[in-house]
Amino acid sequence: MFCHGDWSTGLSLEREELEVAIWRGDATGGGFEAFRVPAQDSQTVLDVVAWVQQNEDPTLSYRFACRVGMCGSCAMMVNGVPRWTCRTHVKKVLKDKKVTVAPLRNLPVIKDLATDMDPFFDKWIKAAGVHHPSKTRDDPIEPVDPSSATRLEADTGIECINCSVCYAACDTVTGNAEYLGPAALQRAWTLYNDAKDAGQQTILDAVAGNGGCHNCHSQGSCTLHCPNELNPMKAIAGLKRATAASFFKKRK
């Protein structure tokens, strides 16, 4: 498979190796393929995948861009758990020097580790997770009070990098194809609390439909696995509260 001489500095003859199982295939099916990858210090899961692609099989497909946890493109299932691979140290996830890497759950596979993110982003639009302008260019800018309750609430969700880790972690998404999912609903909740967004009612209507926030079972896998430690479960609970309040108001 690979030659020790290429990697050894000459000092250590027996370099440690990782046993890596990488999922190969496409939309029609596939399976795990085993690779041996030299262990290195501060090695990330993305480093391991890149090493395999550069040294073992150039046809291995995967997606990444920034490598510093900002762009949200490199999420994969690592030992069955969705993770941002560029900021996941192999050492932290190794089990007996073994690690498995697979494409994200709940999304169609394009090839190998690359999934089709279209359904994920389509649901952001469906959840009204887009800016609804409140002013024209001629109006003065809406002041945002950073200490207001709504701003503090919105702040808890704005660091989302759209990596789809929460979407892959969510079993409600697995069982219910229409369900908008944690990321899209958290975005909707963030905009709902944004002083510069004029779409409050639009948002409530968008998240109260068939695949809306009311399908959430509060399993909390989204919140547990979010790499930025955001809390989509709390955001979705906020939407449930807001829609229930507006439901009772309309009845009066």
Which positions lie near another protein, rule CB under 8 A?
77, 79-82, 105, 168-169, 171-172, 175-176, 178-179, 208-212, 214-215, 217-221, 224-225, 234, 237-238, 240-241, 243-244, 247
Phi/psi of residue 61, each to 5°? -105, 135
Residue 224 Cβ vs another protein, minimum distance, rounded to whole Å:
5
Q: Taking a C-beta distance cutoff of 8 angstroms, is the pair 195, 151 a contact?
A: yes
The nearer residue to another protein, 60 or 188, going by C-beta atoms, is 188
Tell me the closest approach of the beta carbon of residue 183 to another protein, in angstroms. 16
161 or 168: CB nearest another protein: 168
Phi-psi region of 111 (alpha: psi -120 to 50; beta: other; left: phi over 0): beta
60 or 164, CB closer to another protein?
A: 164
Q: How far apart are CA 115 and CA 191, in angstroms?
A: 27
Please state the closest distance from residue 218 (CB atom) to another protein, in A: 6
**For 74-224, where are the E strands, in sequence order?**
75-78, 81-84, 98-102, 109-111, 114-115
Residue with tokens 């887009």: 130
Q: Which helix (H) or strand (E) holds 166?
A: helix 165-169
> Which one, 36 or 247, has the nearer CB to another protein?
247
Least CB distance from residue 235 to another protein, whole Å? Answer: 10
Q: Which CB sits closer to another protein, 55 or 243?
A: 243
Q: For residue 69, which of 234, 229, 232, 231 has the smallest C-alpha distance?
A: 229
What is the smallest separation between the CB atom of 55 and another protein, expressed in angstroms? 28
